[in-house]
Homo-oligomer: A and B are copies of this chain.
């Protein structure tokens, strides 16, 4: 099995957690954004996130551990420490990891009567 795939630095320029959801949406279909982090290494990944805004200083670091050979689909709505990311607010994200990881970003937007999805590979270097 191939290990150690990916990069140490990733960035997602587009971040926006919609401020509401279709009435009656269950947890799966609540508007949210996810950062999907794959760690193929044989050691745990210690990941730090910084969140950038348009009109205030960055927030973070948020610390996340992704165990060896596991994936973490992190809901950005759920981050609490050091602070919640406000909904309805433009932001961007930078992720750094002590071992190589692969990162993809997805939004599910259920403000309309049918949920809509978007996703892209993050920028890496």
Show the binding face of A for B, using Cβ within 8 Å: 1-2, 5-6, 9, 11-16, 18-19, 28-29, 34, 36-38, 40, 50, 52-55, 57-58, 60-61, 69-73, 88, 90-92, 94, 96, 101-107, 109-125
**Integer count of this chain's copies in the complex:** 4
Q: Is the interface of A mostly helix, strand, loop or mixed?
A: strand
User: Can you list 25 A-B pairs with a CB-CB distance of less than 8 A?
Assistant: A1-B60, A2-B9, A5-B123, A6-B125, A13-B101, A13-B102, A13-B103, A13-B121, A15-B71, A28-B88, A28-B111, A38-B94, A52-B71, A57-B69, A71-B90, A71-B91, A71-B92, A107-B117, A111-B115, A113-B114, A118-B118, A119-B119, A119-B120, A120-B120, A121-B123
